[in-house]
Structure formats: structure tokens, C-alpha cells
Amino acid sequence: MKYLDQTGLSLMLSVGATWFQRGSGQQFEIPTRWGSSGRINLIGTDSLHACEEQLEVRELEGSCNGEQVIAYLNTLASSCDPQQLTVVVLDNAPFHKGAKLREQQASWEQQGLFLRYLPPYAPFLNLIEEVWRKLKGILMPRRCYNSVTELRAALVTGLKILGAKFI
């Protein structure tokens, strides 16, 4: 079984917050230094083979979309053995259910890759969510990173600790 999900590692590259003075009704926004360019998005699968677990990840260009999910699933399907069942469990994000993705399903099934979906509103059933929680909450220092390069270095260190394979 492979549990597929994506995460946006929008860890802070600069301090940013909003506040408003009590009774003023007007909110003041503190601008951040990096904006959306200070975000790293990953897509990944947490594979379970007998008693072994393998995290496979890929950094995405921009936000996750259907084309990137299809490209990732194509990579997984190309490494499948048609004689061995490989099941990818997805949540119900719109980019996991698009028309183009459904068109590819028959091809992936011929390669041995089958898609199954979690029930709606059940992220606790998606085992990779715990991996992302561990990565963002424990393995990566909670701090303001001075650059995307520094954020990426912390991310790579955390992924190495988890034994991640980049695909």
C-alpha cells in the first residue's frame, strides 16, 4: 500500500502576523519578506511493504495540481510489477480526482498500480499525514529561515532522517 499526499512546507522565512487594536475594528497586516516564493511543496507516498516502510518524495514546482499528481503516479506506475498488486490510497483533494487522472487509471492498472480513495473527511486514515506531522513538527527546527536555500537544507536533513527516497 502506498499512501499518497502532498504538503506545503510554508515554514516561516520571516516573521509575519496580523493584529488589530481592541475596539478599532481595523486590522493591521505585517508584510512577510518572502511571500509565496518562501514555500516548498512536496508530493509523496508512504509505502508499506510487509513490515518495512519507505517514504518517497518529490519537490513540486509551485502548488500541487492534477498534472503533477499524474506525473508522480506515472513514475510510481513505471516501477510497478504487473504481477504484484500496488495500491495507492489518496484523499479526496480535487487534483486527486480530475478527469485526466481518471483517464489514466486503466493504463496504471495494466502496470499493476491501483487507486483507492479514503472516505471523505477522514485524514486520520491517511498514514502519510503522520509522516508530514513528524517532519514539520519534530524533525525541522521551528524558526524563521533566512532564505529558501536554508529552508530546503533543513527539509532535506529531516527527510534524510526519515530515510526518504527522492523520485
Radius of gyration of the chain (CA): 18
d(CA 87, CA 18): 43
- pLDDT tens, residue by residue, 22-67: 666 666 565 566 666 778 889 999 888 777 888 999 998 888 899 9
List residues bridging with 82 in a β-sheet: none
Q: Which of 57, 55, 60 is nearest to 39 (CA)?
A: 60
d(CA 71, CA 75): 6
Interval 153-167 mean pLDDT: 93
Examine the pLDDT at 10 and tell me if it is beyond 50.
no
Which residues, other chains included, contact 126 with Cβ-Cβ below 8 Å and sequence gap of 6+?
3, 5, 89, 91, 118
pTM score, whole prediction = 0.79
pLDDT at 102: 93
Do 1 and 48 touch, CB atoms closer than 8 A?
yes
What whole-number distance in Å separates Cα of residue 73 and Cα of residue 45? 10
Homologous superfamily of 2-9+39-166 in CATH? Ribonuclease H-like superfamily/Ribonuclease H (3.30.420.10)
pLDDT at 86 over 70: yes
Closest CA to 48 of 89, 96, 92: 89
For residues 33, 35, 38, 39, the Cα torsion angle rounded to the nearest 10 degrees is 160
Among 75, 70, 81, which residue's Cα sits nearest to residue 105?
70
On the question of pLDDT at 128 being above 50, the answer is yes
In contact, 56 and 44? CB cutoff 8 Å = yes
Is the pLDDT at 164 greater than 70? The verdict is yes
Per-domain boundaries in the chain: 2-9+39-166
